Amino acid sequence: MRTPLRLLLGLLLIPALFAADAPAPVPAAPAATGVQKSTFGQLANGTAVELYTLTNRHGLTAKVITFGATVTELNVPDRDGKFTGVVLGSPTLAAYQRNFQAASVMGRVANRIAGAHFTLDGHDYALFANDGLNQLHGGRIGFNKVVWQATAPASKDGAAVQLTYVSKDGEENYPGNLTVNVTYTLRWSPETGQVGSLTQSQHNDPYVKETTSAQSRSESPGRLGSPEGH
């Protein structure tokens, strides 16, 4: 019995149609996963800027430098499994020092403070105006222009780096000591089949205003201690 040519062509096309709808191949796991630390650059005063490279089991990588707690690279696979960068970044420290538009942490305040001044507890604080008559992203030297301290904590969720910066009372004329902790975690999701995601979490210690002595301190709400990452 002869099989019609039209039926044969249809049978040959069926596997091709299923192949076109098949999910993209997941990249093979790299030889090294976790966190690797290296040197990214050095400030004029000799302070080293470190680079932390996070890698998960599917080969995704995220790179974070201690200058500004900045994400410099995020490499993820496309539908064909080819890795590509999806974050605007620069390979040199000088670019970030020249106000390169980067994925950095801004603070103490993100965005603008109109008139470059504010009043807190009846006291008026004058700030440096770096955006016309306003202050933008924390002033002359915001959190994106300082070197943070970094560690690589153990995390069950994936490769992680935690960055800490202590903004002292009077810095950029803001009152009170403020400790900021930012953690970047390169996760992977075996339950959903996702190859990974980069998440950021922040924690700010209570806003503390110094008074006459180290033993005598008054705590105020942390209204000025919520820097925003972008």
Q: What structural domains does the chain harbor?
A: 5-219 (2.70.98.10)
Neighbours of 159 (CB within 10 A): 26
pLDDT for residue 221 is more than 80: no
> In whole numbers, what is the pLDDT of the chain averaged over residues?
78
Residue keyed to tokens 């709400």: 221
Model-wide pTM > 0.75:
no
- For residue range 197-220, list pLDDT tens digits in order: 777 776 666 544 432 222 223 233
pLDDT tens readout for residues 58-75: 889 999 999 999 999 999
Decide which of 218 and 143 is more confident.
143
pLDDT score recorded for residue 230: 34
**Secondary structure of 166-202 as H, E, C letters:** EECCCHHHCCCEEEEEEEEEEEEECCCCEEEEEEEEE
Sheet strand arrangement including 194-204 = 149-151, 158-167, 178-189, 194-204
pLDDT band of 148, cuts 50, 70, 90? very high
Q: Check residue 32 and give its pLDDT.
A: 65
pLDDT of 136 over the 90 cut: yes
Give the least confident one: 26-40, 42-56, 95-109, 170-184. 26-40
Lowest mean pLDDT among 23-27, 38-42, 147-151, 174-178: 23-27
Residue 190: pLDDT band by 50, 70, 90 thresholds? low
pLDDT digits (tens, 9 = 90+) for 87-128: 999 999 999 998 887 899 999 999 999 999 999 999 999 999
Q: In whole angstroms, what is the distance from residue 229 CA to residue 180 CA?
A: 12
Mean local confidence (pLDDT), 45-50:
97
DSSP 222: -
